[in-house]
Structure 1
Amino acid sequence: MEIIEVDERDSSWENDCPRFRVYLHGSGPDATHGWTSTHDLTDCDLLQALDWAQREANGQLTYAIALVVDDGELARHDPEHGRGLVWLIGRDGNDDPGDADTRDLRLADAQRRMLARRRDPVGVPVADRC
C-alpha cells in the first residue's frame, strides 16, 4: 500500500450514481479460477455492494467488485471499448498470475486475499446491509 497526501480540490467532477460490477467465482479451495457469474449493482454504495457480494458468495465462492466507468470520449472513437473497470475489491479471479502476460505480484496477492475472505468476511455495519 502506498499513501500519498493530496489536495482534495484537484478533482473537477463527481458521480453520485455509481455502477458496481460484482464477479462471483465458482472457485476451488486454493484457487480463484472457475465459472463466473457477473452482476451490475446500482442505487447502492460500496459497502452495500460488498454486503450483497458476500451474501451471494456465502463462504463458498470468491468475489471481486469493480467500479464501472463509461468513457464517452473513447466510446465516440471506438464504441465497443468505451466501458472500463476500476478494481475496488479483489481482481479478476480467472487471471493467471503465473502467466507470462499477466504475471503480477499484486494480482497474486489480491487473489490470496479473495480466498481468505471466504473464511473471514469483511464486517459490514447493520445500516449498510442489503
Structure 2
Amino acid sequence: MRPVLLLLPLALAACLPQDKRPTGAEDFTTYCAACHGAGGMGDGELAGGLTKKPANLTTLAARNGGTFPKTKVMAKIWGYTGGKDSHAVMPQFGPLLESELVPYDGGDGIQTPTPVRLVQIAEYLQTLQR
C-alpha cells in the first residue's frame, strides 16, 4: 500500500494544468503599462520620454462608436498595421505573445486561429473601457 501512497502525489500533479501562461492583465502589466500606464490612460512612467504620447486605451470603444475594436487592437499589438504607422513608436509584440492558438471570430463569421495570449490581452483592454 505504501508504493501507492508514494505515487499519489505524482498522479495528482499530472492532473494539474501544465500551462502556466500569464493572464491578459499580467501581460498588460509586463508589456504595456510602462508606456500606457497601469490603468491604460497613456500615462506610464516612460510616456514622457517618447516622441509620440501613448494612446489612452480606456477610450478605444468611445472612439469607435461605442464598440470595442478588438480585431484592430489585436492587430496593433501584434504589429500588423496594414502598411500604416510605418514610423510608429509602439513595438511589435507578436513574438512575445506567441502561444497556443484558439479560434477567434473577428466579426466576419470566420474562426481564425489566434494566439490565446493576444486574445486575452485584448479582452483585458476591453475591461478598461470607460
| TM-score, normalization by structure 1 | 0.26
* Structure whose residues are more often helix by fraction: 2
| TM-score, normalization by structure 2 | 0.26
